Amino acid sequence: MSERKNSTGVSLSRAMTVVVVIMVFTAVIIALFVFNYLFRDSLENAAMTSAGQSVDQVAVTINNYTDDMVEIMDKLYTNSIEDPDSQEELFQNLINIRSDIVMVATYDSHNNNTGIWTNYDIKDMIYTNLSLYSVPAESDDSISISAPHVVSVLENYYPWVVTITRGADETFSNAAKIAFDVRFSTIARYIDEVGIGQHGYCFIMDSSSNIIYHPQQQLINAGLKYENTYLSALPDGSHMIDGVIYTVKTLENSNWKIIGITYLDETVNDRVRAMTLASVLIFIVVVLMTFLFGSLFSYLFTKPAKKLAGAMKEFEDNASGFVFEPIEGFVEVNKLSDSFEHLVKRIQELMEEVKEEETTLRKTELKALQAQINPHFLYNTLDSISWMCEEGKNEEAVAMVNALAKLFRISISRGHEIIPIEKEVQHAECYLQIQKYRYTNHFDYEFDVQESCKEYLCNKITLQPLIENALYHGLNMIDEGHISIRIFEEGEDVIMEVEDNGSGMTEEQVKELFINDGTDHHGIGVKNVNDRIKIYFGEKYGITVRSELDEGTCVVIRIPKVTEERKYEK
Amino acid sequence: MRSKREVSPLHVVLCIILLAVSIVAVFMVLGKSRRENPLLRTTNRKSFIVVIGKSDTSAFWQSVASGANAAAAEYNLDMNFVAPVHEESYEDQNDMIRAAINGRARAIVFSAIDYNGNADAINEAIEAGIPVIIIDSDVNSDRVSCRIMTDNYLAGRMAGEQAVHNNEGELTVGIINYDINSMNGQERERGFCDAVNESGRVAGIYTVNCLSTEESAYEETTALLNEHPEINTIAALNELMSLGSGYAVRDLELADSVDIYAFDSNVISVGMLETGEIDGLIVQNPYAMGYLSVEAAYNLINGRELSSENIDTTTTYVSESNMYDPSIQRLIFRFEG
């Protein structure tokens, strides 16, 4: 019994915990992967696009700027050819208007300096002209842009410039080339302003891997920062190398390349790491919450359910003494508890009822037995026997004694309440025999018993009280009394009838039969028999009485076909 | 059998505590990742640091300040560059140190005018829990966190070796030094003297210590050259000394006969390279000095290990022949952004 109770089951709260943990774990893992994948992908694309756009923008701006310069140069050039006298004035005006042009210089076809225009003091003696080094030797009408350098011809002033040179196929005033020294800071500003992503930036490198300009130019100059030299070898476009996006764009008019650098890994990995960490923590939170809810569930459901189970076990062990205390929990648990309470009450009521019935049965049985050993009956019978003996009617006396003995034997039946109908018929016969001797020829009787009915069981002392009733109340006044006893099957039931042709009864008298327990008169009465049948076989069985005044009475007993004693019958 | 599976109050309380801890952890993680995001870094209060230089007029110190600024911007520090008006007033520097202590600076970057005179104030700062980073010129304290400077002795030697290399004859040396208490000047002098003495061609060494101004250097150089016309090699040990002696040589028209080896550079001394008054410049890396010192301050404030307690910044020898090399151009001509 106890093994069944302790069988390995899974508690609801534990099952719930496991399910939730697995679900959340799976969800978190999937979310992480999806997030990682999608996020990385979209971020990569976005970063690539934005890097490309930024770098393109810088390239366009710088191109516009150089185009602007070239346009100015073209104008100067054409004007100088058409009107050489205005050249001086034009150049001077230009440097006055455009503060980003530090110096305008002209060179002849042998690269000799033929003129310098600037708003700054020129050195007394020019030792080196770095701008000249930047001027290409050939003099065609192409445009060239030099690497940044300082202007070395000014007194105590060394601004960083790039030299933009335009060659000429036609000379004017000894000049074959015009060179502008344009402040590099103008171009540098475009570069400085560009930010790509969080830490991204862009810088200019020439095709031979020299850094032309870097937003952290001073750090590069001071040797504190380096850029990879292989970058200039990359073709135009965006390249992902080790989590860094390098975007390369070559300028139209020069060998400069704008290189944009975006640190993708940093951004993505940081976010993915934060996301992962957050997910893990969320997972832990959910697990803990699951445990908490599990506890709550356990408190509201599992625990009451266990209590209920315990109560049931207790009830099983001690049904009558059990007192049920309602268990609080979920509605379902409460319902269960209520039902169980109801069940307990009902069972206890039934048990009480059974107990009472048992007691009643014993009492009625005892009464029936007592009635059998009715002193009057015994005196009269013994008196009759004694009289027979005096008369010398020995044979009759012997039969009488035998009948009496048989009557008592069957009455007692070793304590059984239920006896075969055959025995009950014998019992009734014995009684009738005795009474017949006592009231000689006063009445007669007949038995009509179906053979098949004899094996069925019935309460003992069933027929005798009814016969006694018939004798004393029915046949008392008449001489030709007749009692017939019939026993036959009717469907699933057995019918026993005791019919007399006596005075009959009114309906009131019939009703009285079932109320009066007969103790005031001779026998134990119809009620006793009826009660015992009903207790034993159930409410649908028992006695019915048909009676008509001056015609007779027929008492009908209905019992089921029973061949075995019930279990509780001792 | 099931009793141990039952939920004890302890179990529940433990769960709740863990839950609370986890939630706090979530917020901390999110907060941390936000803090580490440089774009949002400005929401935090900036740490305040002070850089105390020797001067704020020379190109050298402007470059130091510029490097310090760059690092302060990058590491989001509130940096204040201060320097005394006169390059001799170590007491002013001490006042600045004390002001920094009172102003609750998180770190001090310092260049000592006086090796011993600044020591007490520096120790006070260190006792107040402020880490000190020495740049350019050392102070007499063994408790500073880090030293970032040129190896001044080697820089002096470099100048001396160039002097010996460029002059095959007898050397008569004039040394134009500044404050005798300044450690870096003394180291440079020692290095220069050692290098020329090793040549065995030294006829004499005459040292003058002037105020750290161009005018003082000019006067002292003129006086020295007048007193010792045999001097053919001059070592000018800082930027202002180089200008003063350069102008003196120019005005005495001794550019051809006197070689000047000078420290640091500015546009004028570079011009003098071309015009011949100055023959060689020992160019330090002031930008790196400023940048690295502030970077070190940032690391110290944030409790990070420094890679080294002594960082040696580079020195470059610049002469007329290499001054327009692209790499030298970048070094000596400041880029105005």
Nearest partner of A431 among A445, A450, A418, A441, judged by Cα: A445
Residue A150 at interface with chain B, using a CB cutoff of 8 Å: yes
Q: Answer yes or no: do A270 and B33 touch at CB < 8 A.
A: yes
Contact A199 B37 (CB under 8 A): no
User: Considering only CB atoms, which chain A residues are within 8 Å of B70?
Assistant: 216, 218-219
Contact B38 A295 (CB under 8 A): no
| Other C-beta atoms lying within 10 Å of the C-beta of residue A221 | 22
Q: What is the pLDDT of residues B39-65, one digit of tens each?
A: 444 445 688 999 999 988 888 999 899
pLDDT at residue A8 is higher than 60: no
Of B318, B333, B336, which to mutate for an interface test with A (greatest number of A Cβ within 10 Å)? B333
Strand order across the beta sheet in which B132-135 lies = B77-82, B47-52, B107-110, B132-135, B146-150, B310-313
Q: Which residues of B touch A127 (CB under 8 A)?
A: 274, 320
E strands present in chain B: 47-52, 77-82, 107-110, 132-135, 146-150, 171-177, 202-209, 233-236, 259-263, 278-283, 310-313, 316-319
Residues of chain A found within 8 Å of residue B19, distances taken between Cβ atoms? 285, 288-289, 292
Cβ within 8 Å, pair A128-B29 = no
Inter-CA distances, B262 with B195, B242, B259, B316, Å: 15, 5, 10, 12
Between vectors from CA B280 to CA B277 and to CA B286, what angle results, nearest 5°? Answer: 115
Which has the minimum average pLDDT: A101-110, A274-283, A417-426, B294-303? A274-283
Which pLDDT tens digit goes with each residue over A478-491? Answer: 667 888 999 999 88
**pLDDT tens digits for A144-196?**
788 888 888 888 888 888 888 887 766 666 677 888 888 888 888 888 877 77
Nearest CB neighbour to A288, from listed B18, B291, B329:
B18
Q: Is residue A435 over pLDDT 90?
A: no
Inter-chain touch B1–A303, beta carbons under 8 Å: no
Q: Which of A 287-326 lie inside 8 A of B, CB atoms? A: 288-289, 291-292, 294-295, 298-299, 303, 306
The predicted-structure confidence for B185-199, as pLDDT tens digits, reads as follows 999 999 999 999 998
C-alpha distances in angstroms, B170 versus A457, A464, B166, B237?
Answer: 156, 168, 11, 21
For residue A310, give the chain B residue with the closest CA.
B2
Mean pLDDT for chain A? 80
- Could you tell me which residues are beta bridge partners of residue A223? none
Structural domains present in chain B: 44-150+286-313 (3.40.50.2300), 152-283 (3.40.50.2300)
pLDDT mean over A451-478: 82
Assign 3-class secondary structure to A459-478. Answer: ECCCHHHHHHHHHHHHCCCC
Residue B127 pLDDT: 93
Considering chain B, what is the average pLDDT of its residues?
Answer: 87
Contact A210 B326 (CB under 8 A): yes
% of chain A beyond a pLDDT of 70 = 88
Q: Which residues of A touch B334 (CB under 8 A)?
A: 218
Quote the tokens at residue A364. Answer: 């009625």
Query: Which of A155, A224, A271, A272 would best serve as a mutation to test chain B binding (most B beta carbons within 10 A)?
Result: A224
| pLDDT surpasses 80 at B5 | no
pLDDT in tens, A26-56: 887 888 788 778 877 887 788 788 888 888 8
**Range list of H helices, A445-521:** 463-469, 507-515
Question: Cα–chain-centroid distance for residue B196?
Answer: 26
Mean pLDDT within B152-162:
93
| ipTM for the predicted complex | 0.79
Extract long-range pairs of B209-212: CB within 8 Å, 24+ residues apart.
B209/B177, B209/B178, B209/B179, B209/B180, B210/B176, B210/B177, B210/B178, B210/B241, B210/B244, B211/B86, B211/B87, B211/B88, B211/B178, B211/B179, B212/B54, B212/B55, B212/B86, B212/B87, B212/B88, B212/B178, B212/B179, B212/B238, B212/B240, B212/B241
Of the given ranges (B14-28, B172-186, B284-298), which has the lowest mean pLDDT?
B14-28
Q: What is the CATH number of domain A355-560?
A: 3.30.565.10
Nearest to A131 by CA among A113, A155, A143: A113
Q: What is the pTM of this model?
A: 0.61
Per-residue pLDDT band for B334 (boundaries 50, 70, 90) equals confident
| B275 neighbourhood in chain A, CB within 8 Å | 125
* Strands A113-118 and A101-107, bridge-based pairing: antiparallel
A482 closest CA partner among A568, A554, A566: A554
Which token pair is B337?
A: 């952004």
Enumerate the domain spans of chain A: 355-560
Nearest C-alpha neighbor of B77 from the set B286, B291, B308, B311: B291
From A2, which residue of chain B is nearest by alpha-carbon distance? B1
Cα separation, A322 vs A313, in Å, equals 10
Q: Give dist(CA A463, CA A524) in Å, integer.
A: 11
Q: Does A152 touch chain B (CB under 8 A)?
A: yes
Instruction: Give residue A11's pLDDT band: very low, low, confident or very high (50, 70, 90).
Output: low
pLDDT band at A278 (very low <50, low <70, confident <90, very high): confident
B66 contacts A281? CB cut-off 8 A: no
d(CA A71, CA A63): 12
If you average pLDDT over residues B284-313, what whole number do you get? 90
Q: Which of B289, B324, B332 to mutate to probe the A interface, most A CBs <10 Å?
A: B324
B2: closest chain A residue by CA: A6
Token couple for B12 = 């529940």
Per-residue pLDDT of B103-128, as tens digits, reads 889 999 999 999 999 999 999 999 99
Q: What's the rounded Cα separation, in Å, for the pair A429 and B80?
A: 137
- Answer yes or no: do A281 and B22 touch at CB < 8 A: yes
CB atoms within 10 A of CB A507: 10
Q: How far is B232 from chain A (nearest CA, A)?
A: 24
Q: Give me the pLDDT at residue A570, please.
A: 35
From A75's Cα to the closest Cα of chain B, the distance in A is 30
pLDDT digits (tens, 9 = 90+) for A304-345: 777 888 888 888 888 777 777 787 777 777 888 888 888 888
Cβ separation B336–A289 shorter than 8 A: no
Residue B22 confidence (pLDDT): 75
Residues on chain A touching B33 (C-beta within 8 angstroms): 270-271, 273-274
Share of chain A above pLDDT 90, in %: 3
Which of A195-209, A449-463, A477-491 shows the lowest per-residue confidence on average (mean pLDDT)? A195-209
Flag whether residue A188 sits within 8 Å of chain B, measured between CB atoms. yes
Q: Is A219 within 8 Å of B37 when comparing Cβ atoms?
A: no
Contacts of A210 in chain B (CB under 8 A): 326
The residue-averaged pLDDT of A427-442 equals 82
